[in-house]
Amino acid sequence: MQIPLEELTITPGSACQGCGAALAARLAFKAIGPNAIRHRVPCCPDSTTAHPSASSVFESGGAMLTGTWRGLKAIGRTDVQVVGFFGDGGTYDIGLQSLSAAAERNENIWVITKDNEAYMNTGNQRSGATPIFARTSTTPVGSVTKGKQMRKKQIAKIFAAHGIPYLATASVGYPEDLIAKINYGKTVKGFKMLIIQSPCPVGWRYDGSKTIEMARLGVQTGIWPLYEIIDGEKLKLNYKPRELKPVTEYLKPQARFRHLTDDNISLIQEETAKEWETLLKSDELGRVLL
Amino acid sequence: MIGIRIHGRGGQGAVTASRLLADASYRDGKFSQAIPMYGTERRGAPLVAYVRIDDVRVRERELVHEPDVVIVLDPLLSKKQSVASGLKKGGLLILNSSLPPEKVEIAGDIKIATVDATKIALETLKLPITNTAILGAFSKSVGYPTMESIEKSIRNQFPGRVGEMNIAAIHQSYEEVTPAVQATHTEPVVEESDIAVGGYGVLKDVSSWRVFTPIIDLDKCTGCRACWLFCPETAIQWKDNRPEIEYHKCKGCGICVEECPVKCIAFERVVA
């Protein structure tokens, strides 16, 4: 597949060195193309693009996209893609209600989430997207608690349950897959969602040069499986290795998981394996199993 | 009372340096304040922190607008005239630079001392985090806080092995710092870029964010586009089937160096 050479991002931006989200924005908007309106809610400063853009509060992401789409429809510009490029806070937590409402109404919009697994812009506070046992500034490692005690929210399944026409997960480690998913989504009318895992060197605490490696390991260990769900029922796994790598390969280089005991790791391994089994079965049957 | 301003980049520990300095001074029986400057503290973005040290209780609560001492943690920021802005006459500028103070092109009625803190940090910590390395130079040049107090503060902040590595760094910089000399330049150099790059949106030049610079060996390049594809800042342009780095966009993250399948991109520290 040919990845377009044209760059739509205006750089250099103000993202950190080795930012996964800046790369996610660059790749996603390469595929979206210039004929789009981009909306944002508070998030890390990823790559700025040349699209017309507006910012709003966390809670109103879905409402803002809906309004823009309805306005475009009224003036007959249905060729324009309406894209919300949100962080995990704007999707998993604070922005969930308005996005859920927009999904339920099946508005013709894109929601692209760059999931860096915490509120990284304000200094690494835990979010619904933070994985279990991860150390953040609000779930520190001390004598009583050892990182976040709750699991990561299964946002893809929540939105799949809305029966939206297209939902997919992607990773900055697999740009061809990411771009192919957006290219397919552009042909779909209705609520489209793409969740991109974008590693954060500052919050996850690894060296910035390893961002792509982290993203790849996330996929290869089964922590971040790549799949797409069509109409909320047909599931297709896009990356199916013969055997998954052990999760330690993903957890060990990240200092946010440095305190993990063997029990913790085996729990994560077990849950990942279980989730992977379900996904394999879903892929075989061609429908989502919860 | 002396006021201190610390210039650094996100990730070099300017805020930690201000706290260690205030803490060590307090252990010496002085009164002190550490003031971080809140803003967008991106990894690599220039930022400032302030310290006040006095023999009596410090009543001021504002930022230090006219410092007596300016500490610069970053070698590239050390070349900018604006680090000396607001510095009092006869004030001291402690720079992280491999140059001797006579060759530093910063003008004004000020004294300059230099120490190659990045080299020291890379030797002792194996990381370009220069905050502790420069504290030894501060202690030697200013006369206080004492090295024992800085050691105690560091042990308190970083228990264990990390603390010992940082203590090795302060001792090395205590030995290696040059004596302060009067600045020789009188005419300030006109600056092309602002040091206060931060905040949101599009920046002009981020080359001061880099510690290491990627250099492509085009003879070994196979034209696979991996570096171009994975560069978050579009610093690598694809021209005539060859990559070309636009250095004013490169923040020096090293993704291209990691991802190059034939390892034809070198990652070098370009000094001065």
Whether A40 shows a pLDDT value over 90: the answer reads no
Q: Provide CB contacts within 8 A for B180, sequence distance 6+.
A: B92, B101, B111, B112, B113, B141
Whether B197 shows a pLDDT value over 50: the answer reads no
Q: Do A208 and B254 touch (CB under 8 A)?
A: yes
Q: Provide CB contacts within 8 A for B38, sequence distance 6+.
A: none
Range B119-146 average pLDDT: 85
Task: Using a CB–CB cutoff of 8 Å, tell me whether A87 touches chain B.
Answer: no
Q: What are the tens digits of pLDDT across the range A111-128?
A: 999 999 999 888 889 999
What single-letter amino acid sits at B190?
A: V
User: pLDDT value at position B192?
Assistant: 55
Task: Using a CB–CB cutoff of 8 Å, tell me whether A213 touches chain B.
Answer: yes
Q: Do B253 and A17 touch (CB under 8 A)?
A: yes
Top-confidence residue, A11 or A68? A68
The interface residues of chain B toward chain A in range 25-84, judged by CB-CB distance below 8 A, are 40, 42-45
CATH T-level topology, domain B212-268: Alpha-Beta Plaits (3.30.70)
Task: Using a CB–CB cutoff of 8 Å, tell me whether B209 touches chain A.
Answer: yes
pTM here? 0.85
Q: Which of the 8 DSSP states describes residue A124?
A: -
| Residue of A10, A22, A212 with shortest CB distance to B258 | A212
pLDDT-derived band at B40 (thresholds 50, 70, 90) equals low
Whether B201 shows a pLDDT value over 70: the answer reads no
Task: Using a CB–CB cutoff of 8 Å, tell me whether B238 touches chain A.
Answer: yes
Range B101-124 average pLDDT: 84
- In chain B, which residues fall in CATH 3.30.70.20? 212-268
Residues of chain A above pLDDT 90, percent: 77
Among chain A residues, the shortest Cα distance to B229 is held by A175
Range B153-172 average pLDDT: 87
Among chain A residues, the shortest Cα distance to B231 is held by A23
Burial of A144 (0-12, 13-18, 19+ CB in 10 A): exposed
Q: Do A14 and B203 touch (CB under 8 A)?
A: yes
Look over chain A and give the mean of its residue pLDDT values, rounded to a whole number. Answer: 92
Q: Which of the 8 DSSP states describes residue A240?
A: -
User: pLDDT value at position A143?
Assistant: 87
Residues of chain B above pLDDT 70, percent: 91
Q: Where are the beta strands (DSSP E) in A1-43?
A: 9-10, 36-40
| Residue of B198, B248, B249 with shortest CB distance to A14 | B198
User: pLDDT value at position A131?
Assistant: 94
Q: Provide CB contacts within 8 A for A158, sequence distance 6+.
A: A96, A100
* A68 CB neighbour count, 10 Å cutoff: 21
pLDDT-derived band at A187 (thresholds 50, 70, 90) equals very high
Bridge partners, residue B70, by sequence: B5, B93
Q: How many CA atoms lie within 13 A of A4 on its CB side?
A: 18
| Residue of B200, B209, B229 with shortest CB distance to A175 | B229
Q: Provide CB contacts within 8 A for B159, sequence distance 6+.
A: none
Tell me the shortest Cα–Cα distance from B177 to chain A, in angstroms: 29
Cβ–Cβ < 8 Å for A62, A17: no
Chain B positions touching A213 (Cβ under 8 A) are: 258
pLDDT-derived band at B188 (thresholds 50, 70, 90) equals low
Chain B positions touching A5 (Cβ under 8 A) are: 238
Q: Which long-range contacts (CB under 8 A, 24 or more apart) does B121-125 make?
A: B121/B169, B122/B269, B123/B172, B124/B165, B124/B166, B124/B168, B124/B169, B124/B172, B125/B165, B125/B166, B125/B169
Chain B positions touching A172 (Cβ under 8 A) are: 230
Domain map (residue ranges) of chain A: 10-285
Chain A positions touching B209 (Cβ under 8 A) are: 17
- CA–CA distance, A85 with A102 (Å, rounded to integer): 15
- CA–CA distance, B169 with B192 (Å, rounded to integer): 33
Tell me the shortest Cα–Cα distance from A205 to chain B, in angstroms: 11
| Residue of A5, A11, A210 with shortest CB distance to B258 | A210
Chain A positions touching B235 (Cβ under 8 A) are: 11-12
Bridge partners, residue B236, by sequence: B245
Q: Which long-range contacts (CB under 8 A, 24 or more apart) does A141-146 make?
A: A141/A259, A146/A259, A146/A264
Burial A219-249 (b: 16+ CB within 10 A, else e): bbbbbbbbbbbbebeebeebeeeeebeebbe
Range B101-110 average pLDDT: 80
- CA–CA distance, A66 with A107 (Å, rounded to integer): 6
pLDDT-derived band at B198 (thresholds 50, 70, 90) equals very low
Whether A278 shows a pLDDT value over 70: the answer reads yes
* B191 CB neighbour count, 10 Å cutoff: 11
Tell me the shortest Cα–Cα distance from B148 to chain A, in angstroms: 29
Q: Do A16 and B259 touch (CB under 8 A)?
A: no
Task: Using a CB–CB cutoff of 8 Å, tell me whether B194 touches chain A.
Answer: no
Task: Using a CB–CB cutoff of 8 Å, tell me whether B162 touches chain A.
Answer: no
* Residue closest to A100 by CA, chosen among A169, A42, A196, A164: A164
pLDDT-derived band at B16 (thresholds 50, 70, 90) equals confident
* Segment of A25-39, B3-17, B76-90 carrying the highest mean pLDDT: A25-39
- CA–CA distance, A254 with A118 (Å, rounded to integer): 14
Range A9-26 average pLDDT: 88
Tokens representing residue B15 in the block: 């805020």
Look over chain B and give the mean of its residue pLDDT values, rounded to a whole number. Answer: 83
* Residue closest to A19 by CA, chosen among B267, B255, B91, B84: B255
Q: Do A210 and B202 touch (CB under 8 A)?
A: no
- CA–CA distance, B117 with B96 (Å, rounded to integer): 5
| Residue of A13, A18, A175 with shortest CB distance to B254 | A18
Helix (H) or strand (E) holding A235: strand A234-237
Q: Which CATH superfamily is domain B2-182 in?
A: Pyruvate-ferredoxin oxidoreductase, PFOR, domain III (3.40.920.10)
Give the sign of the dihedral formed by CA B265, CA B266, CA B269, CA B272. negative
Tell me the shortest Cα–Cα distance from B234 to chain A, in angstroms: 7
Helix (H) or strand (E) holding A168: strand A166-171
User: pLDDT value at position B141?
Assistant: 86
Whether B199 shows a pLDDT value over 70: the answer reads no
Please report how the helices A61-74 and A96-105 are oriented relative to each other, as an axis angle in degrees rounded to 10. Answer: 40
Please report how the helices B131-142 and B117-124 are oriented relative to each other, as an axis angle in degrees rounded to 10. Answer: 130
3-class secondary structure for chain B?
Answer: CEEEEEEEECCCCHHHHHHHHHHHHHHCCCEEEEEECCCCCCCCCEEEEEEEEECCCCCCCCCCCCCCEEEECCCCHHHCHHHHCCCCCCCEEEEECCCCHHHCCCCCCCEEEEECHHHHHHHHCCCCCCHHHHHHHHHHHHCCCCHHHHHHHHHHHCCCHHHHHHHHHHHHHHHHCCCCEECCCCCCCCCCCCCCCCCCCCCCCCHHHCCCEEEECCCCCCCCCHHHHHCCCCCEEEECCEEEECCCCCCCCCHHHHHCCCCCEEEECCCC
User: pLDDT value at position B271?
Assistant: 63
- In chain B, which residues fall in CATH 3.40.920.10? 2-182
Whether B193 shows a pLDDT value over 60: the answer reads no
The interface residues of chain A toward chain B in range 151-190, judged by CB-CB distance below 8 A, are 172, 175
Top-confidence residue, A172 or B181? A172
| Residue of B44, B235, B238 with shortest CB distance to A5 | B238
Q: What are the tens digits of pLDDT across the range A199-251?
A: 999 899 998 899 999 999 999 999 999 999 999 889 999 999 999 999 999 99
CATH code of domain A10-285: 3.40.50.970
Tell me the shortest Cα–Cα distance from A18 to chain B, in angstroms: 5
Tokens representing residue A131 in the block: 């994985």
Among chain B residues, the shortest Cα distance to A42 is held by B200
Nearest 5°: phi and psi at B165?
Answer: -65, -40
**Number of A:B CB contacts under 8 A?**
102
Burial of B29 (0-12, 13-18, 19+ CB in 10 A): exposed
Please report how the helices A211-220 and A20-32 are oriented relative to each other, as an axis angle in degrees rounded to 10. Answer: 80
Give the sign of the dihedral formed by CA B134, CA B139, CA B144, CA B149. positive
Range B69-87 average pLDDT: 80
Tell me the shortest Cα–Cα distance from A160 to chain B, in angstroms: 30
Mutate to test the interface with A, among B206, B230, B247 (most CBs of A within 10 A): B230
